[in-house]
Amino acid sequence: MRRYAFMTALVAAMVLAFTVRPAVAGSVVNTKVPVNFVLPDPATGELVQVDANLHIQLLINNSSAQLQLKANGSGVGLGSPSLDYIFQSDFKSSIKVGPGAQTLSLSLKAQLISKGSGDNISIDGKLRLHFDANGNLVGVQFDPLFPPKITG
């Protein structure tokens, strides 16, 4: 349930941003932040410490909003420091604002790539929420993130 909390909060924030106040033409956020976190390697069960740079881009104009989060970095196995990984992720969301039906689109791609003989892990998922002109949720299209794709 915890993995859906971020997505729920993001969707709620974007919906509130456009229903509470009008969008500002040409608002842009573009920043980079260092991040670190631990991911489990689903092939081995080992924990991997990832250190990455998170690039955040947010563009809001009068009719749409786009949010993109990209992270690139490296990882080291906590149980086997000799296991080195490359970490890459790309999260994108977009929503069109205005009268009529709306669609909120979210996509996430992430890879944990072994620098040696270990397994490579990738996840790829998409979520689209369709709303009618009255703001009622009328459709959901979901391509799941899990199970991850593991290649050796």
pLDDT on residue 95: 80
Count of CB atoms situated within 10 Å of the CB of 137 = 10
Q: What's the whole-model pTM score?
A: 0.66
Q: Are 41 and 75 in contact (CB under 8 A)?
A: no
Q: How confident is the model at residue 53 (pLDDT cuts 50, 70, 90)?
A: very high
Nearest Cα to Cα of residue 64 among 122, 23, 31: 23
Can you tell me which residue has the tokens 């969008």? 23
Count of CB atoms situated within 10 Å of the CB of 146 = 9
User: Where do the H-state alpha helices sit in the chain?
Assistant: 2-20
pLDDT on residue 7: 44
User: What's the pLDDT tens digit per position in 5-47?
Assistant: 444 444 444 544 444 444 445 678 888 999 888 888 777 778 8
Distance CA 21, CA 107 (A): 25
Q: How many CA atoms lie within 13 A of 21 on its CB side?
A: 7
User: What's the pLDDT tens digit per position in 54-113?
Assistant: 898 888 877 778 888 899 999 888 887 667 888 888 888 888 767 778 888 888 888 888
CA dist list (Å): 101 to 57, 129, 133, 139 = 25, 11, 4, 11
Domain ranges of the chain: 2-151
